[in-house]
Amino acid sequence: MDKYLEMIRIRFLMMLAYRTNYYTGILIYAINIAAYYFLWSAIYGGKQTMQGMSMEQMTTYVAISWMARAFYFNNIDREIAMEIREGNVATELIRPYSYLGMKTMQGLGEGIFRLLFLSLPGLLLVALFLPLRFPTDAHTWIFFILSIALSFVINSELNLLAGIVTFFTLNNEGLLRAKRFVIDLFSGLILPISFYPDWAQAVMKYFPFQGISYIPSMIVTESFQGQAIIDGLLFQFVWCALLIIPIRLLWRAAKKRLVVQGG
Amino acid sequence: MESGEKAACRSRRVSRVLRIGFFQYMAQYMKTKLQYRADLLVEFVSDLMSQAANLVFLLVVFGHTSLLHGWTRDEILFIYGFFLVPYAVFGAFFNIWDFNERYIVRGEMDRVLTRPVHSLFQVILERMELESLLGGVTGMIIMAYAGARLHLSLHWYDIFLFILFVLGGALIYAGVFVSLATISFWSDARTSIMPMMYNISNYGRYPIDIYHRVVRYILTWILPFAFVGVYPASYFLGKKEWYGYAFLTPIMGIIFFAIAVCLWNAGVKRYRGAGN
């Protein structure tokens, strides 16, 4: 356990060394949210609510989704792909820890760093000039924190899956890009799932994507109440557990047919 | 007299280097691409998916409203279709997302600098992704669909303006992203600016008048992505109030790309190589 905590710490410190880069990131993040705010204002066009959400809730939804994204987003799929292409994965595999576990911990270190140095200052900056409304109820915050932790797990599991697929295709830049776009769209990052037509919502119930962004954002904007919160968290839990199965199976198959290029 | 001959000889040699260099890069490019055939297909499909994602956003939103600040669904689709064309040209020739990782951190830049062709030109050739041009075809299909529903009438010279606007838009994109890539010369830290800038660039494809004037100013003069989508597209949509901006597109493209090249040259001068 200690070694995994150490991995989080080291990745965090590694990111910390480059923190100056994030000052511009905060500014760009703010511009990003603001532009979405204007887009949604135009979409609301004076309407009080759309799909049960007020303009204020929608603004908060957008700001929080992007903040959360900085936390759960990581490039471990790309890192795995690169380590396979360069053959480094061979040395990683003989080390005394789980390779996938290490990757996840590095992603967590990175996420915590971005949360502290990008998301929180960015959110404060945005709150200065946009009408955001945060919940005052402590329970909502607890549910949100739980939900966002599960978001990280689901997103990392999907990243690990995509990374492992690299073992079979060797160069899967296109696949990684496609995965990113599917997640941006169907996770509810750019559009709450409740805006989709009913049939699409029904289909999306069978995919893990809304567990990444939609559920935590709906919880924190208080668009989910009571049973909806519990259902959302359960949905996330179930997917966290389910996704372990394909990862295990693929990882076992991948190790068997690992070809270290140039080796 | 003698120096003139020398110069002529040198320019002949440079042009030969350029010509050979270009075709060799092309041949090498085809070889590497065909090596990973399955990946080529995946990449093409992923391009289509990314456009589908954006279209889904528009279509879903217009399922709840009929006008976006006075712009109809088809007008906004048309702007999006147009935006895809310069974006595809940019994507095909300026694939510099991972410049920092690939050239600075791993020291590839040292190799590039030992060669007798401008380093930016080499990086562009090495990282060409011509299959991105297919995205432009999708864009034109969307424009044709939206244009037909809007009953747009075109003049014979509109095709030339279209090409000019597309080149201008692609140069603006190239200018911004090459400038960002040059940050690597000053600091080899990893940065998340590029993907974020990509998000910002998307706002150029919505009507500029929905934004606050500060944002409008930024999208026009500082990160001029409005010139990639809404301004030039307004010309074809016959929105006369934006004509002035539409015709500025190629000029903005040249200015921003020139700035990027200057930054690049300054960066190369300052570059000390990887390692010690």
pLDDT of the residue at B123: 86
Residues in A closer than 8 angstroms to B189, CB to CB, are: 17-18, 20-21
Query: Nearest-CA residue of chain A relative to B33?
Result: A171
Q: How confident is the model at residue A263 (pLDDT cuts 50, 70, 90)?
A: very low
Q: Is the pLDDT of residue B2 over 70?
A: no
Q: How far is CA B273 from CA A177, A202, B99, B187, B215, in A?
A: 30, 54, 14, 12, 38
**pLDDT reported for residue B3:** 58
pLDDT category, B1, cuts 50, 70, 90? very low
Q: Which residue has the higher pLDDT, B73 or A25?
A: B73
Is the separation of the CB atoms in B88 and B139 below 8 Å? yes
- How many Å apart are CA A102 and CA A82, to the nearest integer? 15
Categorize the per-residue pLDDT at B232 as very low, low, confident or very high, splitting at 50, 70 and 90. very high
Specify the DSSP element, H or E, that contains A49: strand A49-50
Rounded Cα distance, B87 and B97, in Å: 14
Between A63 and A88, the more confident residue is A63
So what's the pLDDT on residue B275?
55
Alpha-carbon gap: A6 to the closest alpha carbon of chain B (Å): 21
Whether residue A92 contacts residue A81, with contact meaning beta carbons closer than 8 Å, is answered with: no
* Confidence category of residue A17, pLDDT binned at 50, 70, 90: confident
Q: What is the model's pLDDT at position A81?
A: 82
- Mean local confidence (pLDDT), A72-97: 82
Checking if the pLDDT of B166 tops 80, the result is yes
Phi, psi at B195, each rounded to 5°: -65, -30
| pLDDT reading at B110 higher than 60 | yes
And the tokens for A166?
A: 């690299």
- Range name among A34-43, A219-228, A238-247, B243-252 with the lowest pLDDT average: A34-43
For position B276, what pLDDT does the model report? 45
Is the CB of A4 inside 8 Å of chain B's CB atoms? no
Give me the residues paired with residue B68 across strands.
B71
Chain B residues within an 8 Å CB radius of A181: 46, 49-50, 53
Nearest to A38 among B39, B57, B215 (CB): B215
User: CB under 8 Å to A91, separation ≥6 — which residues?
Assistant: none
Chain B touched by A51 (CB under 8 Å): yes
Helix pair B193-201, B158-186: axis angle to 10 deg = 160
Nearest to B82 by CA among B215, B234, B251: B234
Helix A138-169 crosses helix B37-61 at what angle (to 10 degrees)? 150
Helix axes B2-35, B119-126, angle to 10 degrees: 20
The vertex-B206 CA angle with B258 and B152, nearest 5°, equals 100
Buried b vs exposed e over B66-105: b needs ≥16 C-beta within 10 Å? eebbebbbbbbbbbbbbbbbbbbbbbbbbbbbbbbebbbb
User: Which pLDDT score is estimated for B36?
Assistant: 63
Residue A53, SS3 per DSSP: strand
Q: State residue B42's pLDDT score.
A: 67
Higher pLDDT among residues B255 and A182, named by residue: B255
Per the CB < 8 Å rule, is B42 touching A174?
yes
ipTM over 0.85: no
Do the chains contact at A28 and B200, CB–CB below 8 Å? yes
Longest CA–CA span in chain B (Å) reads 75
CB-nearest partner of B65 from A35, A45, A182: A45
Chain B interface includes A174 (CB < 8 A): yes
Residue range A95-113: average pLDDT? Answer: 87
Tell which phi-psi region holds residue A44, choosing left (phi > 0), alpha (psi between -120 and 50) or beta: alpha
Helices and strands (H and E) in chain B: how many = 12, 2
Mean pLDDT across B233-250: 92
Q: How far is CA A254 from the centre of its chain?
A: 25
Q: What is the pLDDT of residue A91?
A: 80
- What mean pLDDT comes out for the span B255-265? 95
> Which of A111-115, A208-212, B185-189 has the largest mean confidence?
A208-212
Rounded average pLDDT over A56-69: 91
Contacts of A162 (CB under 8 A, 6+ apart): A77, A172, A175, A176, A179
Q: Does B59 touch chain A (CB under 8 A)?
A: no
SS3 A243: coil
Mean pLDDT value across residues B103-114: 82
pLDDT at B252: 96
Whether residues A43 and B65 touch (CB distance < 8 A) is answered with: yes
- What pLDDT is recorded for position B187? 75
Q: What are the DSSP calls for B59-99, one per residue? A: HHHTTT-SEETTEEHHHHHHHHHHHHHHHHHHHHH---TTH
Is A175 touching B (CB cutoff 8 A)? yes
For residue range A125-181, list pLDDT tens digits in order. 999 988 888 888 899 999 999 999 999 999 999 999 988 887 787 556 777 777 887
- Judged by CB atoms closer than 8 Å, whether chains meet at B215 and A39 is answered as no
The listed range with the strongest mean pLDDT (A28-32, B110-114, B159-163, B239-243) is B159-163
A34 close contact with B: CB closer than 8 A: yes
Taking the CA atoms of A128, A129, A133 and A134 in sequence, report the sign of the dihedral they define: negative
**Closest CA of chain A from B113, distance in Å:** 23
**Pick from A32, A170, A185: CB nearest B53:** A185
Mean pLDDT of chain A: 86
**Among A53-67, A224-238, B262-276, the least confident range:** B262-276
Nearest CA in chain A to B44: A174
Q: How many Å lie between the alpha carbon of B157 and the closest alpha carbon of chain A? A: 33
B96 close to B178: Cβ distance less than 8 angstroms: yes
> Is there a contact between A43 and B68 if contact means CB atoms under 8 Å apart?
yes
Give SS3 for A50: strand
- Amino acid making up residue B36: Y
Task: Name the minimum distance, in Å, from the CA of B211 to any CA of chain A.
Answer: 5
Q: Does residue A100 carry a pLDDT above 70?
A: yes
A20 touches chain B (CB under 8 A): yes
Q: Kindly report the average pLDDT of chain B as a whole number.
A: 84
For B5, the token pair is: 């001959």
- The residues with which A50 forms a beta bridge, in sequence order, are A53
Q: Give A22's contacts in chain B (Cβ within 8 Å).
A: 192
Please tell me which residue, B164 or A102, carries the higher pLDDT value. B164
CB-CB: which of B44, B189, B210 is closest to A42?
A: B210
Kind and range of the H or E element at A253?
helix A244-256
The more confident residue out of B14 and A38 is A38
Taking an 8 Å cut-off on Cβ atoms, the answer to whether A24 and B193 are in contact is: yes
Q: Give the pLDDT confidence score for residue B188 in this predicted structure.
A: 64
Chain A residues in contact with B43 (beta carbon < 8 A): 173-174, 177
Mean pLDDT, to the nearest integer, of A218-224?
92
For A77, A157, A228, A248, B38, the CA distances from A242, given in Å and listed in that order, are 19, 10, 21, 11, 29
Task: Please list, in sequence order, all residues whose beta carbon lies within 8 angstroms of the beta carbon of residue A246, skipping any fewer than 6 positions away.
Answer: A161
With b for 16 or more beta-carbon neighbours within 10 A and e for fewer, the B17-44 pattern comes to eeeebeeebeeebeeebeebeebbebbe
Mean of the pLDDT values across residues A65-72?
Answer: 89
Alpha-carbon gap: A240 to the closest alpha carbon of chain B (Å): 25
Residue A44 has a CB neighbour count (10 Å cut-off) of 18
Q: Average pLDDT in the B98-119 region?
A: 82
